[in-house]
Structure 1
Amino acid sequence: MGRVTPDQLTPTGTADAALLALELSDPPSPARRVTTPLQHHELVPPLDPFGEDRPVPLPGSAGEHLLQRAFGTDKRARRFYDEQVLDHLNAEMKEFIGRMEMAFVATSDTRGECDASLRAGPPGFIQVLDDRHLCYPEYRGNGVLASLGNISENPHIGILLVDFVTDLIGLHVNGRARIVEDADMRAIHPALPAEFDRGRTPERWVVVQVEEAYVHCRKHIPRMVPVHRQRSWGTDDSRRKGGDYFGAKGTPRPWHREPATS
């Protein structure tokens, strides 16, 4: 098979004309002065700003609902909630997740301090367990455990999966996460793959209960072409890992203290 260039790749198309029309509809309204206070400190479910008689609150935060009303985007937002946001994974979403090779994962601690990280593997490294649950493996890394540490304090998680190669489309999955040891996970789901890449075995899994799943439109997603790459799986060699790529080693920092000398 000859080399494939970007202009030879044609999206198969999952964003139909109606969705594209939604993205381009209703040009932004003139800027308005926000008269409603933006402070919101109570941890309560968001109220539906579009009507008091809806039995279930709309997706999203109270803050986004407030700004939708302040900036005049509430009708477009309501349409998106009603047409594109699900509280589970449908068949198309499951198929999409099953062929993804990377995901961007966002977490935060109880103070709201955030961390964004990358998870990657061969297609299927993110496993869909059922309509409302998925999981991904955690391997031996640098030992910091930033994402898992946040999840241990605050279960809320946001995952973004993007197809940069064919369909040029993304999928958001938001929900609540918990950490499960590998042996415990396999006792419940024995069909999980034991090894994904070059003998790497997961140490534990992150299981996500899906609360929101919705499309990320293709307008600004760049097209990429996969190329072969030789990887050094499991290495601790700093040069191969790119561990000090930004030259941070040896730079003074406030939390670093030289060991005391006797």
Structure 2
Amino acid sequence: MDYHDPGFGSEGERELQKRYGTEKRANSFYDRQMIDYLNPRMQEYIREQELLFIATSDAKGECDSSFRAGIPGFVRILNEKQLAYPEYRGNGVLASLGNISENPHIGLMFLDFFKATIGLHINGKASIVENEEFLQSDNTPQEIRDDIATEDGKKPERWVMVEVEEAYIHCSKHIPLLTKQDKKIAWGTDDMKLKGGNFFGVASKVNSRKESGDGPT
């Protein structure tokens, strides 16, 4: 079969497609489902979402996955090639931002569990944008300015802006349809109980090891 270069995917993908005989199927997906911008339907979809999964890696390729959430539409569309999501107050580790500071490549995954049971992949390059930078730019949407002006726990500490390189569907067949229940969100809290406390029992184990002299020094 002739080599097909659709402009998407990695060398590793194509090598395995050839090895496992999935080239025809993959090329059809590249050609029919993958684009390098956010079309109007994708933008509409993002404005309805309140969940986002992100994947980053550092300069050595060590990976980290994480989760972001907010009110529906908390991820802001700047234009068809750019979006931005807020970084709210967290545990202070800054794992994702640390990776982005070394390696801009990022993968985003939106999953709609509550209506369409459809996912949207976005791959691209990320950069860290401070609130002040957005406020000083004439091109910043009013909705981002309003977010920054928020005085409660939903005030972003900063933003991650993503330049879109790939955008494509995640099919519905294995995405469960879930029912949302009421939950009061304690935005920006440092209260350990509200954050889940010691759910996995790690803190008590670490303290026990330190007391016994077996823990790291």
Indicate whether the TM-score tops 0.5.
yes
Q: Does 1:68 align with 2:68?
A: no
Question: Which consecutive unaligned segments of at least 5 residues does structure 2 have?
Answer: none
Q: Deviations over 1:70-95 (max 9, x none)?
A: 00000000000000000000000000
Which one of the candidate residues 108, 118, 122 is aligned to 2:57? 108
Relative to structure 1, the CA distance from residue 197 to residue 86 in structure 2 (aligned partners, 3 Å threshold; closer, same or farther) is farther
Distance in 2 separating the partners of 1:190 and 1:132: 15
Aligned partner letter, 1:50? Y
Distance in 2 separating the partners of 1:74 and 1:194: 45
Q: What is the DSSP-based 3-state SS (H/G/I as helix, E as strand, rest coil) of the residue aligned with 1:164?
A: coil
What residue number does 2:191 align with? 237
- Assess if the C-alpha contact under 8 Å between 1:122 and 1:197 holds in 2: no
Q: Superposed, which structure 2 residues align to 1:183-262 within 5 Å?
A: 183-188=132-137, 189=140, 191=142, 192=144, 193-194=146-147, 198-252=152-206, 257-258=216-217
Distance in 2 separating the partners of 1:104 and 1:176: 15
Distance in 2 separating the partners of 1:197 and 1:104: 26
- Assess if the C-alpha contact under 8 Å between 2:88 and 2:188 holds in 1: no
Q: Does 1:50 align with 2:50?
A: no
Identity %: 52
- Assess if the C-alpha contact under 8 Å between 2:90 and 2:188 holds in 1: no
Distance in 2 separating the partners of 1:202 and 1:240: 19
| Cα distance, 1:197 vs structure 2 | 9.0
Q: What is the DSSP-based 3-state SS (H/G/I as helix, E as strand, rest coil) of the residue aligned with 1:149?
A: helix
Aligned partner letter, 1:214? Y
TM-score by length of 1: 0.74
Q: Deviations over 1:152-201 (max 9, x none)?
A: 00000000001111111000000000001011112221511325794421
TM-score by length of 2: 0.88
Q: What is the DSSP-based 3-state SS (H/G/I as helix, E as strand, rest coil) of the residue aligned with 1:185?
A: helix
| Cα distance, 1:233 vs structure 2 | 2.5
Which one of the candidate residues 123, 146, 151 is aligned to 1:174? 123
Distance in 2 separating the partners of 1:129 and 1:182: 15
| Cα distance, 1:112 vs structure 2 | 1.0
Q: Deviations over 1:93-140 (max 9, x none)?
A: 000000100100000111111111000001111001001000001122
| Cα distance, 1:231 vs structure 2 | 2.3
Aligned partner letter, 2:147? A
Q: Does 1:134 align with 2:74?
A: no
Q: Tell which structure's C-alpha radius of gyration is larger.
A: 1
Q: Does 1:145 align with 2:94?
A: yes
Distance in 2 separating the partners of 1:172 and 1:190: 23
Distance in 2 separating the partners of 1:163 and 1:50: 35
Is the helix fraction higher in 1 or 2?
A: 2
- Assess if the C-alpha contact under 8 Å between 1:108 and 1:115 holds in 2: yes
Distance in 2 separating the partners of 1:242 and 1:208: 30
Distance in 1 separating the partners of 2:13 and 2:99: 23
Aligned partner letter, 1:180? V
Q: Deviations over 1:201-220 (max 9, x none)?
A: 11111000000000000010
